[in-house]
Amino acid sequence: MRIVLLGAPGSGKGTQAHRLAERSGIPQISTGDLLRAAVTRGSGLGLAAKEAMEGGRLVDDALVLGMIRERLAEPDARAGFILDGFPRNLVQAAELDGLLGELKQPLDAVVQFEVDREELMRRISGRRTCADCGRVFNVLTSPPPSGAAAICPKTGAAHRLVQRADDNEATVAERLRVYEEKTRPLIAFYQSRGLLRVIDAAGEVDAVTQRLARALGLAARAGRNRRARPAVRRAVRAKAAARVVKGRRAATRGAARRKPAGKKPPPRRAPKTRRGAAPKRGGTRRRGRR
């Protein structure tokens, strides 16, 4: 399963991509995570990306595509992947098409997350990111869970939540403007290819997860599997019953062919002959007494 998740900043792509990755066992590939990792390493690529991200601008297409190419070449992406936040413009979409064509891994679906602007602003203001593993939470809609899920997989301790520099109100407004100008045209691009599915991404996180599953056909497959199990059990029971009936019929037919049991007939005795009489069959005549 090879999927692209589209939507404005704050539409919940990251949260749903994480859930989908856990459910399907394929990796979530977020360009934001890839870029932030480069920033953390302090490479030249990371420094260039940092300047663009903090200004609310899109990172250079060639730079992002190179990172995506490297990530898709890793072993865990061979069975499929979830692209979260890429492509972000028509040039990137065309380049991604070419790359996936080379890899012989065409997309299966593109899902557009629709949320109104006011809700986007509210969500982004409550968004927090783990400084160590990069997982995104939201203090308003999807706070960090308790128990084992509250542990950062990289540190083994609780998630260190921080508010990203590009989640302030001014930067968010600029990011939404760029989204409308550069990214929204991708809806028509993928619709023309028959790949687009649109879901309402407002409301409770679990409800959005269910809508996403239905859009991808995952809920229907699970339902068919659940319905198939009782059907299989009924078929097995029916076959077993048929074998029993068949065995009984065979036994009845065999009994009918056999003669009823009774007493054994007495052994046949040789017929008595008079003394001096010749036997009926062969032999010599015995002489009588004189």
More confident residue, 101 or 121: 101
Q: What is the mean pLDDT of the chain?
A: 79
User: Contact, 7 vs 202, CB < 8 A?
Assistant: no
Asked if residue 275 is part of any domain, the answer here is no
CATH code (residue 19): 3.40.50.300
Query: pLDDT > 90: what percent of the chain?
Result: 34
Q: Which segment of 4-13, 124-133, 201-210, 252-261 scores lowest on mean pLDDT?
A: 252-261
**Does 143 sit behind a cis peptide bond, omega within 30 degrees of 0 on the bond before it?**
no
Asked if residue 179 is part of any domain, the answer here is yes
pLDDT given at position 239 = 56
User: Contact, 45 vs 51, CB < 8 A?
Assistant: no
User: What domain count does the chain have?
Assistant: 1
pLDDT given at position 50 = 79
Q: Which segment of 13-22, 29-38, 163-172, 198-207 scores lowest on mean pLDDT?
A: 163-172
Structure-token pair, residue 133: 């593993």
Give bridge partners of residue 196 from the DSSP assignment.
110
Asked if residue 50 is part of any domain, the answer here is yes
Distance (Å, rounded) from C-alpha 6 to C-alpha 9? 10
Asked if residue 139 is part of any domain, the answer here is no
Supply the residues annotated as catalytic: 13, 88, 127, 164, 175
Which band of pLDDT confidence, cut at 50, 70 and 90, is reported for residue 102?
very high
Asked if residue 132 is part of any domain, the answer here is no
Which band of pLDDT confidence, cut at 50, 70 and 90, is reported for residue 189?
very high
Asked if residue 230 is part of any domain, the answer here is no
Asked if residue 184 is part of any domain, the answer here is yes
Q: Give the domain range for residue 78.
A: 2-126+163-225
Angle, alpha carbons 186-188-193 (nearest 5°): 95
Unique residue bearing structure tokens 């300047």: 51
Residue 153 has pLDDT above 80, yes or no: yes
Asked if residue 85 is part of any domain, the answer here is yes
